[in-house]
Structure 1
Amino acid sequence: MEENEQIIGSKSFTAVAVNCASKAGEWIKSRIGQFAEPDLKHSMHDLVTEVDKGSERLIRNLIGTHFPHHSFLGEEGVEPGPEASARALEKVSDAEYLWIVDPIDGTTNYVHDFPFYSVSIALARKGQVIVGVVYDPSRDELFVAERGKGAYVHGKRMSISGEKALRQSLVATGFPADHTAALPANLKQIQAVAPQVRNVRVAGSAALHMAYVAAGRLSGFWEIGLNAWDLAAGSLLVEEAGGRVTDQSGEPYHLGVRNVAASNGWIHGELLEALKKA
């Protein structure tokens, strides 16, 4: 089987990722307004619905039929909180092939029918992301990247925005669900960054924000306390579109990064500087 997978190569990995993302996206869109009261997860602001779980099951089953020997890390299988996330990642860290899935990134938006949520699917080989797919069912936009082959939306090659300075830039961030540490820290960063940029957006899906950096719609994105499934697919989209993804001290992105900075590259130093000052 392993050899066959090598022969099949990345093309089929990407095809499976795209198929999973679009099927899951269609399914979650069809379920809007039909679900019961959401369970409460890590905090009231981190809503999780039966739709999340159904979407993850659908993706896991589809991947399993094609690649039964591959490992799988999905948001729904992991207890809330940073320690559990770190443990879950540790458990699969030596997998040759690891699928990293967020079945609905932006659950709170989804629950409120605010059309900014996405399905995020990445495949890492020995810890390096080689395929990244983010699908926005509301706009039917599919963002796809394959390592070394560029990043695409609507089948057109994406490239990062051309802003050279922070003051010309539209950037995005999030309000973390962890209200004890991550949220206050991120609010301080917003206070530091906002006066230095054209404007800041907080739309509620890290994966889509990363896709928007890749597509040149945002010049940068940062947030504190994210997980591998929020960032893995988006990190490849940004890199393959010509941008830069690091942790907030400027170290290169890896699957364990929680405090992220992504940008068109031009403004990266300035953005990191502003975050450090906070």
Structure 2
Amino acid sequence: MTPLDFTQLSHNVAALCRSTAEFIRQEATVFDRAKIEHKGLHDLVSYVDQETERRLVAGLRELLPQAGFITEEGTAGPDSQSEEFTWIIDPLDGTTNFVHGLPVYSISVGLLHGAELAVGVVQEVSRDESFRAVRGGGAFCNDHPIHVTDVTDLHSSLIATGFPYKDFGKLDSFLQILGAFMTRSHGVRRLGSAAVDLAYVAAGRCEAFFEFNLNSYDVAAGILLVREAGGHVTQFLTDGDPLFGRELVASNGHLHQQVQGVIGEFWQ
């Protein structure tokens, strides 16, 4: 059997995400907020999420018929992680932004090869930016190489985060961490799409990102982007698996211990 060409596959996935993003952009011009549904407290879904996922699943099945799927909206059927290949898909990361007309939302597609991320694509829809990474092959934005920054001082950094929206049990600890970063950095930004946050760390637009209560489909592609751009990704206080660990710190690498140190002051 011919070995899979992950670089060519990444280009094919990026092309699929670009074409699917056209559907999202078209729907954004006519979207009716009355059509949203609630999966849980403050957890929104729309027909745009569902139709986008259906289009992605169909296209990815053509590219790699033997792969399993982990998807946010379940349109591929029950999650079916394969021993060899598994697609991990968030069709519209930033649904709340989309629903309210805020232009930060994305498509996120990652591919697991065994237990390792092999391909990651984040399509930022509104700006039409295609972030792509291949294990061992680097990270790119619109096919131009990207790299994390070389900032080593936390006080000279910009930090991204995501706010809790359905599990508020650790809200006090989070707010203390947020306050610490506000006073020890250039500032904190909350964009509303973890996939975009990770892509921006990879592209050097911010130095670090942290969030908890994350799902694998939020972060799979972005984790690979950051690593291939020269950064570091872990759980909050350990080097544990950030893909399925529900919490994540991503950084340019130089600041990683400093960021973990701030989180460790307050996280319980």
CA distance in 1, matches of 2:22, 2:172: 36
Are residue 17 (structure 1) and residue 5 (structure 2) matched? no
Q: Give the equivalent residue in structure 1 for 2:68.
A: 71
Q: Give the equivalent residue in structure 2 for 1:112.
A: 100
Q: More helix by proportion, 1 or 2? A: 1
Q: Give the equivalent residue in structure 1 for 2:156.
A: 168
- CA RMSD, Structure 1 to Structure 2 (Å): 1.7
Are residue 56 (structure 1) and residue 44 (structure 2) matched? no
Aligned residues: 262
Please list the CA deviations of residues 66-88 of structure 1 after superposition, one character each: whole Å capped at 9, or x if unmatched: 2222101111119xxxxxxxxx7
Runs of 5+ unmatched residues, structure 2:
none
Q: CA deviation at 1:54?
A: 0.4
Please list the CA deviations of residues 4-61 of structure 1 after superposition, one character each: whole Å capped at 9, or x if unmatched: xx434213321332122112211111101433421012212x2111100000000001
Q: CA deviation at 1:93?
A: 4.6
Which residue, out of 128, 138, 143, partners 1:140? 128
Please list the CA deviations of residues 169-225 of structure 1 after superposition, one character each: whole Å capped at 9, or x if unmatched: 001001122243254443332123221111000010100000000000000000011
Where in structure 2 are the equivalents of 1:1-278 lying within 5 Å? 3=1, 6-36=2-32, 37=34, 38-44=36-42, 46-77=43-74, 92-93=80-81, 95-181=83-169, 183-278=171-266
TM-score by length of 1: 0.89
CA distance in 2, matches of 1:256, 1:277: 24
Q: State the identity as a percent.
A: 36
Runs of 5+ unmatched residues, structure 1:
79-87
Q: CA deviation at 1:240?
A: 0.5
